[in-house]
A = this chain, B = another copy of it.
Amino acid sequence: MERVLALLKSRGVSKTDIIECVYFLQRPYHETLTNDKIIYYVDSVLNKREVQHAIYTGIALDVAVEKQVLDNKELEAIIARDDGLYGVDEVLAYGICNLYGSIALTNFGYIDKMKPGIIGKLNRADHAIACHTFLDDIVGAIAAAAASKLAHDKE
């Protein structure tokens, strides 16, 4: 998990950023909710192989677009401007959420519209400098998945 955390960090996302997103999603349903409790669920999600593969692949695409090394320049432009109808970024995010059930998918849809904390920050980043088209959805999916697991364990 250290590798995936280091990679996220290098792209501007700390574990605390993700914890804040989980907190945003779960606070309404818990009287007491501590960071320590949330960490367990975030770690659990980040430890899953298929989640790691989605993170690596999404970030690899973001970086490739920044470095302009993709052959397909039209695709590069679509990803660079985070075109709302591109859709593959969400497909990758759903690949993460699906592993955590229908609550994770609902959480993702909500957080993707509300864009709290780091998600909003990534989304507002200057597209001429940085590409976070995949990363913002991936962070949303990790938080949505951790929140879903937390909700299931509560009962």
B interface footprint on A80-110 (CB within 8 Å = 1, 0 otherwise): 0000111110111011001111110111111
- B87 and A50 within 8 A (CB): yes
Residues of B within 8 A of A54 (CB): 88, 91
Q: Shortest Cβ distance from A108 into chain B, in angstroms?
A: 6
A87 to B96, CA, bound (A): 11
In the complex, whether A126 has a CB less than 8 A from a CB of chain B is: no
Contact of A109 among B56, B91, B110 (CB under 8 A): B110
Given A56-B72, A72-B59, A152-B49, A103 and B88 contact (CB-CB distance below 8 Å): no
B interface footprint on A52-79 (CB within 8 Å = 1, 0 otherwise): 0110110111011001011110110010
